[in-house]
């Protein structure tokens, strides 16, 4: 079991919030802000990033939540996506932005984007992630917006967990 005493700070809260505000600006600038946008939160990990990002978006916003899991209690992807709640409305050609904590192998987001494209009549589907762990990518999928790049470490905090814990930290930490 990893212990909080062994946790090192990777990104402090001030840096996280500043970068999320910048990302929101980038998103506002690349959409027509008069058009509605549905923001989809991938629970549980994206919860904090999602709420923070939503505060600064200027378009008429709808908020949806799905719950997916691919890690279980491990620190490596198990290679299959468990969909715990995937009820989404018909988007009637409106724009959709999927918000996720971290893209690792790409399995989760590849699965979700394909699901939305096949089942929800969305217009444009884009992806925003707090972290892009590019070195671990196995699926051909690229986020449209990403706040930070991270190398091959297991990180926790600001929504990200290890065995269900540490999601409430207001910073990003890693275990040495």
Q: What angle do CA 116, 118, 120 make, to 5 degrees?
A: 50
Residue 56 vs 71, nearer CB to ligand IMP: 71
How many Å apart are CA 89 and CA 129, to the nearest integer?
A: 22
Q: Is 32 a catalytic residue?
A: no
How many Å apart are CA 152 and CA 176, to the nearest integer?
A: 12
Three-class secondary structure of residue 10 per DSSP: strand
143 binds ligand IMP (CB under 6 A): no
> What x/- string results for residues 145 through 174 when contact with ligand IMP is judged by CB under 6 A?
---------xxx---x--------------
Three-class secondary structure of residue 7 per DSSP: strand
Cβ atoms within 10 Å of 158's Cβ, excluding its own? 27
Residues 69-108 that bind Mg ion (CB under 5 A): 101
Residues 9-38 that bind ligand IMP (CB under 6 A): none
143 binds Mg ion (CB under 5 A): no
- Shortest distance, CB of residue 8 to ligand IMP, whole angstroms? 14
Q: Which residues bind ligand IMP (CB under 6 A)?
A: 45, 70-71, 77, 100-108, 133, 154-156, 160
């Amino acid at each position: 079991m990893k212990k909080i005493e062994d946790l090192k700070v990777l990104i402090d809260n001030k840096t996280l919030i500043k970068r999320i505000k910048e990302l929101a600006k980038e998103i506002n600038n690349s959409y027509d802000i008069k058009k509605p946008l549905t923001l989809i939160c991938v629970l549980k990990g994206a919860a904090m990033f999602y709420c923070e990002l939503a505060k600064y978006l200027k378009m008429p916003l709808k908020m949806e939540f799905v719950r997916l899991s691919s890690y279980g209690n491990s620190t490596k992807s198990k290679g299959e996506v468990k969909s715990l709640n995937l009820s989404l409305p018909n988007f009637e050609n409106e724009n959709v932005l999927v918000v996720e904590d971290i893209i690792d192998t790409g399995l989760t987001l590849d699965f979700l984007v394909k699901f939305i494209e096949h089942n929800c009549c969305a217009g444009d589907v884009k992806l925003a992630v707090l972290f892009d762990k590019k070195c671990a990518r196995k699926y051909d999928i690229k986020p449209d917006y990403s706040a930070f790049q991270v190398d091959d470490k297991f990180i926790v905090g600001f929504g990200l967990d290890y065995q269900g814990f540490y999601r409430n930290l207001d910073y990003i930490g890693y275990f040495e």
